Amino acid sequence: MKTTLFTVALLFASHFSNSQRILEVTNGSWVNPNLSVETFRDFVISGYTETNPGTGLLTATFKVSDIFGTPLNSYYVDYPDAVYLMDFTIREATNTVILTAMTAVTGPGTPHKMIVAEVDFMTGAPVQSWLEYTFSGNSTIPHQVICSEPTGQVTVVGTEVVGTLDPSNYSTIPKFGFVLGLDINNFSMILYPPIQMDLPATSIWDYDMLENITEVPGSGYFISGSCNAPTSGEQNLITMGTDYAGTVTFSNIIDNTNSRFAGSSVMYNPPLNVVYLLANNSVIHQFQVAICDPLTGAFLTPWTRHQLTGYPIGSGVDQNGFHLQQSRDNLIVIGGYLSAPSGALPQQLTPFQITMRDNLAFLAAKIYQSGNNSPLSPSYFEENGNSPFINTPNIITYNTSINRTYLVNQNTVNGGFDLNVSSLLKASKCEKLVPVTTFMANPILVGTGNFNPLPMYPASYPSNPIPRPIHQTILCQSIAPAIAVNTPDITLAPNPATDLLSITLDEETIQNVLVYDIKGNLVLSQKASERTMNAITLAVSKLDQGAYIIEVTTKEGNTHRERFVKE
């Protein structure tokens, strides 16, 4: 057996909460809140906008934790101006964060300017940073950024505002979506003429925005957003594809009887070679998800809406979904926010998580502990769907090694944000399982988009990393024995054990169980019967008193380890 000191250390570490809620106190401003979270390897990186007390300016802020939620570092990425963090992604090849942000409006006639930067993910040390702007001085609002290592590209989608944006005109000022491709190692180099999407409005409303992007490896990108209908001023969903040279390969305007769709997330699924498309309906405030062909945008399934029911948070509940994720077992996870316009929690946000099979069949839904969440913000839920600040925050991410999701959520009562470490299918005392009612609807294609080159030029914009103190408190904890990095929920009962030890896995089928003493000697083994699923019982009465390590091999090909004590 190959046992590393790291694994042994984890097995005998202090108890870890399989599901918990961690509060990080911040100097945040929720006027334009945008929380994002990403994970890779054994790290979780949370990003948000916070006021740096040393400068008095809003700035992009990051906190790095391990997969158990233990903080490792936190820092501000300071710029000469106040900055709102919009999105970030991890460049795994270099252990860096690539972020997009926009400068805050500081006076009349001042445009929002878009920042694209790369910093060391652990320290915030700058690698490269540029300010992108149009020649006309329009406001530039980035929504999502991704990087493609094989093609050497960083791609940003967002909204270009025709004129100067201010709080009085954001609903009526014309706007259009853009796609910007940068060299991954030199953000001053634009790889192709930026793409501008502009569908002329027939009224004062102009809703064109590009908000979400996913890579279709070997082909290019699948993008979604919102736009005008071809014959009216109403907002509809748009999907489009581009190749790596920036050429538009398809576009589809999708209507839902004028219900004002807004793009929310897109995700490429490699095993099935399909794209999952998530959209929010800005009138009834319900999300819908469908499966599409990655090269044409053609719908392969109807719209599916899993509407949560039975939650004790009021009536007329809105349900907005953000950020699709895919588990190691090819399950699909959606994180989002509920709000209750009337009832127990009027105009409050309550996070939820829905897990589905890869065919969109429902598996589990749960809401997270509520009561401390921020009020609704126009940045997320402007009723007519026409705010250029509408962003699709990556509020939930999934870690393969530990088979857990991580959800970030505002906490304005306690002054900060919550990081929830959670199971895919089970609810801890921090959460509540709820039923759903499923609805199906056929998509309606009503037209195609039009695209033009967009002049855009880079200018250097230096950043400065500043350490940030960590103020963390566990608000909700469900104690279980410590687990190894690659271990899902394993329940050992009783622990300590005297005669019999029951072993239960959350989401896998047991094939074989081995027991080792602390010196690494094999002392007991047992094969599961054909009827065994996720539970098995061991007779341990003949073992000496002391600590042991259980190694469970599953029929899915995974190996998991846990510690138990024989009395």
Q: Tens digits of per-residue pLDDT, 179-231?
A: 999 999 999 999 999 999 988 877 667 778 899 999 999 999 999 998 887 77
Q: What's the pLDDT score for residue 10?
A: 37
Determine the structural domain holding residue 227 and report its residue range.
Answer: 5-476
Same domain? 448 vs 557: no
Domain boundary among 441, 476, 511: 476
Largest CA distance in the chain: 82
Q: What's the pLDDT score for residue 357?
A: 95
Same domain? 438 vs 536: no
Same domain? 466 vs 502: no
Same domain? 401 vs 259: yes
Q: In 149-273, where do the E strands start and end?
A: 153-161, 175-183, 186-190, 195-197, 209-216, 220-228, 235-242, 248-255, 261-269
Q: What's the pLDDT score for residue 386?
A: 42
Q: Looking at mean pLDDT, say which of 137-146, 164-173, 292-301, 415-424 comes out highest.
A: 292-301
Q: Taking the C-alpha atoms of 99, 147, 223 and 280 in order, what is their torsion angle to the nearest 10 degrees?
A: -40
- Looking at the structure of the chain, the number of domains it has is 2
Q: Is residue 149 part of a domain?
A: yes
Same domain? 521 vs 470: no
Mean pLDDT in the chain?
82
Q: Taking the C-alpha atoms of 500, 506, 509 and 511 in order, what is their torsion angle to the nearest 10 degrees?
A: -40
Distance CA 350, CA 507 (A): 26
Quick: pLDDT tens for 422-478: 889 888 777 888 899 999 999 989 889 999 888 888 898 999 999 999 999 887 754
Region 545-555: mean pLDDT is 82
Q: What's the pLDDT score for residue 508?
A: 77
Q: Is residue 23 part of a domain?
A: yes
Q: Is residue 194 part of a domain?
A: yes
Same domain? 507 vs 466: no
* Closest among 212, 233, 229 to 277, alpha carbons compared: 212
Give this prediction's pTM: 0.81
Domain boundary among 430, 449, 476: 476
The CATH number for 391's domain is 2.130.10.10
Same domain? 219 vs 245: yes
Region 121-131: mean pLDDT is 94
